[in-house]
């Protein structure tokens, strides 16, 4: 357990559920000790929780008698803090205002994610703070924001890929060969082409004309599931935003991994109706995989496996 000074260690881990997905985090985490709006606490070390937008490691309980005392106690732990306010909003905001300002300017993609440590805190009641100096996300409450391009991309799906690549800390480089499955109307293809990659873009529906005309984009009007890896050949990156059941996507991913023709994969698991937690666990169990709910995800998860 880390040194917490005068703060009281809880022995918990906190999970901040993505908006609308508290039940999914509860299903993943199991037994919990407290739920405060979207913020869920469970005893012990972190558990797999893909639907948590931010994980609070080793949160501590701090007793305070005033707003100034609360801010002082947080500053004693570290510099940078993001407030998650689920109650006592005015009092919490007044404490946050006495803390050093944390810049939350939207990123200009492909600008990297912030690297400075960012803690999270909340007020349980007027006299009690709960604070985690270390969290899983470098963004306040796990919410990555970007300077949007409102003219070039054909839809808003590009934001999801921007966030995925930013969180992963890797992206295709000039000349790398990318396969974009389920690409229409072309938001992800636009992102990849803008990075200088060569893109094989595949969908049964056509690309937006302005995307199909971009240099380095090869469009194939076909089903992603009808393609055999040997037909495409080696690719540096495979991307999929295909609308399908996760079990079907898993078969596609396994086929490509077995082929040995792909180095990096980034895919969206889309859930129709109830969340298929069993399928999500199968994706998470693939060696080297990462499964996460991005701020720009809806009822879906982003899965990645990087070489």
Catalytic machinery residues: 270
- SS3 of residue 39 by DSSP: strand
Q: How far is CA 75 from CA 130, 166, 168, 253, in A?
A: 14, 28, 29, 46
Q: How far is CA 131 from CA 128, 191, 305, in A?
A: 10, 37, 32
Residue 250 CB contacts under 8 Å (≥ 6 apart), including other chains: 279, 282, 283
Q: How far is CA 203 from CA 165, 172, 233, in A?
A: 22, 21, 17
**Closest residue by Cα to residue 301 from 168, 114, 164, 181:** 164
Residue 182 CB contacts under 8 Å (≥ 6 apart), including other chains: 202, 203, 224, 240, 241, 242, 243
CB distance 33 to 41 below 8 Å: yes
Q: How far is CA 251 from CA 181, 226, 236, 257, in A?
A: 14, 12, 20, 10
16 CB-side CA count, 13 A = 27
CB distance 135 to 117 below 8 Å: no
Phi, psi of 212 (to 5 degrees): -60, -25
**H or E segment to which residue 283 belongs:** helix 277-284
What DSSP letter does each residue of 167-185 carry, written as one string?
A: HHT----TT-EEEEES-TT
Question: Which token pair is 74?
Answer: 């947080």
């Amino acid at each position: 357990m880390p040194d917490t000074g005068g703060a009281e260690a809880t022995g918990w881990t906190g999970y901040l559920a993505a908006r609308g997905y508290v039940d999914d985090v509860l299903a993943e985490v199991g037994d919990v000790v407290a739920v405060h709006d979207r913020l869920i606490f469970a005893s012990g070390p972190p558990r797999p929780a893909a639907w948590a937008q931010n994980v609070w490691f080793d949160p501590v309980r701090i007793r305070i008698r005033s707003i100034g005392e609360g801010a002082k106690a947080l500053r004693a732990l570290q510099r940078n803090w993001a407030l998650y306010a689920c109650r006592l909003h005015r009092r919490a905001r007044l404490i946050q205002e006495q803390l050093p300002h944390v810049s939350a300017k939207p990123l200009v993609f492909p600008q990297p994610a912030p690297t400075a440590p960012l803690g999270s805190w909340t007020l349980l009641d007027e006299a009690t703070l709960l604070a985690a100096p270390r969290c899983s996300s470098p963004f306040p409450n796990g919410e990555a924001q970007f300077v949007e391009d409102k003219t070039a991309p054909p839809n808003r799906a590009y934001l999801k890929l921007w966030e995925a690549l930013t969180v992963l800390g890797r992206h295709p480089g000039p000349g790398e060969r990318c396969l974009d499955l389920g690409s229409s109307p072309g938001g992800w293809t636009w992102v990849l082409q803008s990075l200088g990659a060569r893109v094989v873009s595949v969908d049964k529906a056509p690309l937006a004309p302005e995307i199909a005309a971009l240099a380095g984009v090869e469009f194939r009007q076909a089903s992603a599931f009808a393609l055999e890896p040997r037909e495409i050949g080696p690719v540096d990156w495979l991307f999929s935003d295909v609308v399908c059941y996760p079990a079907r996507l898993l078969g596609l991913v396994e086929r490509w991994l077995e082929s040995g023709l792909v180095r990096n994969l980034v895919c969206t698991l889309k859930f129709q109706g109830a969340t298929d937690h069993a399928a999500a666990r199968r994706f998470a169990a693939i060696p080297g995989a990462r499964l996460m709910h991005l701020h720009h995800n809806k009822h879906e998860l982003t899965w990645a496996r990087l070489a």
